[in-house]
Each structure stands twice: as structure tokens, then as C-alpha cells.
Amino acid sequence: MGIAQKKPFFLKALLLALVLVLALPQATSFAQTAYQNSEYDAMSYMLVEAGSGQVLAGHDAEQKVYPASTTKLMTALLLLEQKGLDGETTVGTEINGLPNGSSLMNIEVGETVSIKDLFYGLMLSSGNDAACTIGVYVSGSVDAFLNLMNRRAVELGMANTRFVTPYGCFINQDDEGTIPEDMLGINHYTTAADMAKLAVEVSNYPEILQAGNTKTYMLSATNRHAEAREIENSNPLIHTPKNHPELSEFYYEYATGLKTGTVNNIRLGDEIISAYGSVVATAEKDGLSLIALVFGDESERETDNGTQRSYKRWQLAAGLFDYGFANYAWVDMGEYIMPVSLTRPVDTEENSGIREGTFDIASRGDAPPDKALLSSAAASALKSGDLSLEEKVDIKDALPYFVQVGDTVGTVEYTLDGAKVYEADLVVTGQTLTQTEPPKETGQPAASPLGGEELPGWFLWVIIPAAAGGALFLIRGINLSRRNRRRSYRRSRH
């Protein structure tokens, strides 16, 4: 019979370690997978939630870009902040000398137009003439309006943005070099991150959102146009223009706006960029509002209607929306926060006489918990119970006896993956206090029934017997006196 060979020690240790590792509970990640699409990585883009500005995806968002007509979002914002849409104005010479190839709403010098029509001409037709007229209407001159635009950008935290026109057209230097350096298109720039701040701000204005989601609009008749005119939205995510049916492939069901921008033949030194497209797009689905920002689309392709430029921005915006809607959701955190109910004992104070007691305590917030934007994985895990909020209570082990109902005595904080979701005060809702002993002696002498200080104990042993003897002697004397009087009375009768 052969002798069994022993397994080497290190092999046994390795097998044991493997068993232990497999037996350990596996951590589950509820983080969202990052958006990736290499086809569009040459562009600068961002996806943000409209209300909070929470960034959901991005690529080269701090890269300097040329905003083109998305600039007009700032023009629209300042019009609403400074003046509103009521009233009318007369177009001046500010619309003369616009760059060749400018998009226009086709107004004329001397034409009286309503401010609302100017606003829709700015947003739908992307009219450079409308932008200049609005600038003069708001600030008195285009230059003064530009100062206002740049000041407002600073206020919004757009640190890497500069505007040199109210409309955004990229201005190349002419052959004679007559255009001032500070007016050239290269000095009119921003970043996707900066424009996201502007887009979040304009999302607070229903008028801008409504205009961005309008397919067609009728301009009223004026002193220079006898009949009303229809204008169309230039955003194919929203509307397919009548003379460009090929753009119908870019229609996006959940799109709600907002502003497009295109410039062609940008000259950057010896380099010429034939197409440079951008879009600040908005969409909404199931209560989730998103903003997709795309800049620097230089794509081109040949179609039956000729060369189509900057078409990939529409595809990228739609892809970002699909990603956001599929992977994020608003969650009502109030459904997962259980109110705190606890008790704490009384922490007695010397001479209080209180030896037992408790305080009933409950959590109370000034407002209900907010909704939180979570990854779909985290939202599902919360619903199934695989993920829960962490509760951290901050309160003393015992409370002073003088605490009253309604007093705040601590806080409770709820976190999810380390991020604070909600915080509430801990408030006393009831008290039970028991005085189980008389107050402690203070060390002062007790008062004597006769007044003054307390008599010493030995004095009692003397005074009590003496008092008893005196009382007996007094009673005996009284009785003897009565007997003597009765005897004297009998003798006198006989």
C-alpha cells in the first residue's frame, strides 16, 4: 500500500483563501455607467438636468467654442429681465451692415414692430436684425447692450465667455483689415459648461421655453408689411421646415426646444472650417427635463438636396437624451425616510429632586424631503429594498431635566452613497418626570418649634422628665387643695 502524499502547506492556504473570498457577500454598485460614444468625441458636449444643472454626461466641456446663434439665448434672457414682451419699438439703423449670410427675420429701418414679434423672430428665425433691434430697445445702443451681456455672463459664473455681438455670427477679418480686432469672431467665445449655466437660467422663463417649442409663428402686419407673415422654427428636433423635408429624420419625439447655431467658412489663420454647428436642445419625458449642449459639429455629407452640414449635432443631442431618460429618474425621497421616534432619560441636576424620567422625541423637518435625481439602478434598488438610506442620529445620551416640549434637542441626517439627502430636527414631544426623593439636606440647622436654632439631643433627656414630674406635682397640689376645702365646709355645717 502506498503512502498518501500530503498537500503542500501553501496550496492548502490558497484553497482556504479562495473559499473565504467566494463566501464573502459581493458588493453591488448602483453607479450609472458613463455615456460613451466615440463617433462624436471630436465635439464638445454636455447633458444636464434642467432644474438643478446636475451634469449627467460631458466631453471637453471646458474647451473654447464659438456659440454662433445660441448667443441669442442671452439676448432673449436680458429682454425678459429688463423689459418684458409688452409694447413695441421702431427699427433703427442698427440693422444695417450685418455680416453677409446673416439669418434674418426681415424687418426694415423705420418699421414699427411689437416686442413679442421681435422675440419670436429672434428665437425661431434666429434673426440677427431682431437681436440688434432688441439690444437698442433694452440698452439704448448695441455697444451698451454688449456690456450688459458680458456683465450678466459674469453674474452667471460664465468665466470663460465673451460676447462681441448680440447675435453670435462669426466675423472674419476682411481683405483690407478694417474690422477692429475686438469685433472678430475669434473673440466671441464660450464653453459648453458656461452655456449650460445660461441654459439652466433661461429654463426659469416660460416665455423662452414656449418660443423654443413653437413650430411656426405669425408675425403681425406692420407699417412696412401689409400682411401677416409666417416664420418657422429652425430646430429640426422640433420642426421639419417646409423647404427642407430631408431634415425630418432628426425629429425627436420628446424635444421641447431650444436654440440652434450655425456658422460657415470660419477662418482661423490658414485654416478654414467650412461648417461649424451647435445646438442647445431641451427635452422632457416622465417628469425629467434635460438640456443637451453640442458645439463644434464640423460634419458634412452629400444628400439629394446637396451638401448637408453640421448634421451630427442632431444625432448627438438625441443620443444624449436617450441616455438620460434611460439611466436617470427623479425619486421622491420621502417614501424612503422613516420618521425617528425615540426616548432619552433625564439627566438630573443636583438638588432638583428628580431621579427618574424620560423624554419622547420625534423628527420634524421644516419641509418635506426633496426629490433626488438618481441613476435608474439606484432608483430600482431603493424600490426593491436592496439599497437603503443611512440614518445618522445626533443627540445626547441624556437630556437636562428642564427641557420642555417643543425644544429641539438634536438632528437626524439621511445619506445615500455618502451624499446628504435630507436633514431634520429632533424635537421633544412629551415628558415624564418623577420626583422620587425629598430634596437633599443643605447642611443648615433645622428651625426649632420654639424659634431659633435646633436644640441639642441631650437637652430632651433632661427637659421631658422634668416636665412630667412638674405636671404630676401640680396635679397632686390641686387635688389636695380640693380635699381641704371640702373638710372645712363640713365642719361649718355641724
Q: pLDDT tens across 160-178, in order?
A: 999 999 999 999 998 888 9
Q: Identify the CATH number of the domain in which residue 360 sits.
A: 2.60.410
> Do 167 and 282 lie in a common domain?
yes
> Do 305 and 384 lie in a common domain?
no
CB 358 within 8 A of CB 344: yes
Q: What pLDDT shows up at residue 146?
A: 98
DSSP for residue 48? E
Residue 315 within any structural domain of the chain: yes
> Do 59 and 156 lie in a common domain?
yes
Angle at alpha carbon of residue 183, lines to 89 and 191, rounded to 5°: 95
> Do 425 and 368 lie in a common domain?
yes
> Do 49 and 150 lie in a common domain?
yes
Last residue of a domain, one of 303, 330, 357: 330
Residue 20 within any structural domain of the chain: no
- Assess whether pLDDT exceeds 80 at residue 483: no
Last residue of a domain, one of 387, 405, 434: 434
The mean pLDDT of 130-155, rounded to a whole number, is 98
Percent of the chain past pLDDT 70, that is, above it, reads 80
Residue 378 within any structural domain of the chain: yes
> Do 318 and 364 lie in a common domain?
no
Q: Which pLDDT band holds residue 25 (cuts at 50, 70, 90)?
A: very low
Closest residue by Cα to residue 48 from 293, 315, 278, 259: 293
The mean pLDDT of 330-354, rounded to a whole number, is 81
Q: What pLDDT shows up at residue 22?
A: 42
CB 380 within 8 A of CB 359: no
Count of domains observed in the chain: 2
> Do 272 and 164 lie in a common domain?
yes
Percent of the chain past pLDDT 90, that is, above it, reads 58
Residue 484 within any structural domain of the chain: no
Last residue of a domain, one of 418, 434, 450: 434
> Do 358 and 226 lie in a common domain?
no
* SS3 per residue for 210-271: HHHCCCEEEECCCCCCCCCEEEECCCCCCCCCCCCHHHHHHCCCCEEEEEEEEEEEEEECCE
> Do 264 and 403 lie in a common domain?
no
> Do 346 and 430 lie in a common domain?
yes
Residue 13 within any structural domain of the chain: no
> Do 319 and 402 lie in a common domain?
no
Residue 31 within any structural domain of the chain: no
Q: Identify the CATH number of the domain in which residue 219 sits.
A: 3.40.710.10
Using DSSP's 3-state secondary structure scheme, residue 104 falls into coil
> Do 315 and 426 lie in a common domain?
no
Domain of 198, in residue numbers = 39-330
Residue 390 within any structural domain of the chain: yes
Between 450 and 7, name the one with better pLDDT. 7
CA 372, CA 126: separation in Å to the nearest integer?
Answer: 36
Residue 29 within any structural domain of the chain: no
- Assess whether pLDDT exceeds 90 at residue 217: yes
- Assess whether pLDDT exceeds 90 at residue 238: yes
CA 70, CA 212: separation in Å to the nearest integer?
Answer: 12
The listed range with the strongest mean pLDDT (19-33, 137-151, 378-392) is 137-151
Neighbours of 373 (CB within 10 A): 18
